[in-house]
Structure 1
Amino acid sequence: MSKIKEKLTKELIDFLQGERIISLITVDKETKKPTVSTISWLFAHESGEKIKFALGHKSSSIENIENDPYIVLNVVGPESCYEIKGTGNVSEIMQGTMKFRVVTVEIDSVEDVIFYGGKINAVPGYEKTYDAELANKIDHEIYSELKK
């Protein structure tokens, strides 16, 4: 049986410093049912009590969080799967190369949710399929905000 913690471990803090594939679960504003999206712009605060992530300013997840701020983040790795529950607060629209909003999550609980006897041996990866120079510029702008 896994133990529920109230904040991120040092290992998870180190892991969640951006460029990870994370599932974001929110409650759909219209249907009132859970919905999932995938995010990668994120940054865990060193205290282990907060995570910030960025979304495009028109993301349906933004509307969902503004309507019902309770969210779940599902993290695959390091070595396990983790459910991070918390309450999200959405920023105003930020203007950079693209418009985006930052969600600050106050963490309520962190739980190791891998099945019995399971261990993650490879962390999912991805590649950006658009202009590399543009991707770097956008990443720099967004991470500058997330690290504030």
Structure 2
Amino acid sequence: MAETVSQTLSEDLFALLQQERFVTLATIDHETGAPSLHSLSWVYAVSAQKILLAIDSRSRILANIEKHPEVVIQLIGGGSSYALNGLAHVKTQRIEEVPLKLALVEMQIYAVRDIMFYGSRISADPQYEKTYDKKAATKLDQQVMAALRKAELT
């Protein structure tokens, strides 16, 4: 079992979550009870203990969280892989400032673990590219991240 690093994000991990970043989110499927894994990029750390996520309103993630609020985010960065355990809830079903139908999910972190296997280090952070119109993707990403930053104030 991985050793608990902390109950909060370190300064370095917090800094990584101040911009759009590839993460995976593990939930428990609301119908089958089986683990369910999702890839996300619209995440934002409000504090060392709270993360906001923008999730497509049609996603199973929302129903999963409603039934089973325990979630885990895998964050790769800073040379390692981390499991951020927490309790999530849907804060709002619709983020008004964004043209897509996105829900706002809030996650309260209760454990941060370094889960990298022994004697290894991540040598490059995951990279991805948007496969649709680059200009539209950039505009949407900016709108979503601005909405997440604004939501932190409410």
TM-score when scaled to structure 1?
0.93
- What is the DSSP-based 3-state SS (H/G/I as helix, E as strand, rest coil) of the residue aligned with 2:111? strand
- Give me the CA root mean square deviation: 1.3
Match in the other structure for 1:6: 7
Partner of 1:27: 28
Structure 2 CA distance, aligned partners of 1:119 and 1:2? Answer: 17
Q: How many residues align?
A: 147
Alignment of 1:126-145 (within 5 A): 126-145=128-147
Distance 2:127 2:20 in 1: 9
Please give the alpha-carbon distance, in whole angstroms, between the structure 2 residues aligned to 1:18 and 1:72. Answer: 19
Q: Distance in 2 between matches of 1:38 and 1:18?
A: 16
Q: Give the drift of 1:3.
A: 3.8
- Alpha carbons 2:24, 2:37 under 8 Å: kept: yes
The equivalent of 1:61 in structure 2 is 61
What is the CA-CA distance between 1:19 and the residue it aligns to? 2.5
Aligned residue identity for 1:132: K
Contact 1:13 1:48 in 2 (8 A): yes
Residues 42 and 52 in structure 1, CA contact (< 8 A), matched pair in contact too: yes
- The 2-side partners of 1:31 and 1:23 are apart by 20
Q: What is the alpha-carbon distance in structure 1 between the residues aligned to residue 88 and residue 51 of structure 2?
A: 9
Q: 2:115 aligns with which of 96, 105, 113?
A: 113
By how many angstroms is 1:140 displaced?
1.9
User: 1:63 Cα deviation (Å)?
Assistant: 1.1
**How many angstroms does 1:99 deviate by?**
0.8
What secondary structure does 1:147 align onto?
A: helix
Q: How far did residue 93 of structure 1 move? A: 1.6
Q: TM-score, normalised by structure 2?
A: 0.90
Deviation at 1:4? 2.9
Q: CA deviation at 1:18?
A: 2.6
- After TM superposition, where is structure 1 displaced by more than 2 Å over at least 4 residues in a row? 1-4
- Quick check: 1:18–1:40 contact (8 Å CA) kept in 2? no
Q: Name structure 1 gaps, 5 residues minimum.
A: none
Unaligned runs of 5+ in 2: none
Q: Percent identity?
A: 35
Deviation at 1:92, TM superposition (A): 2.1
Q: Secondary structure at the match of 2:131?
A: coil
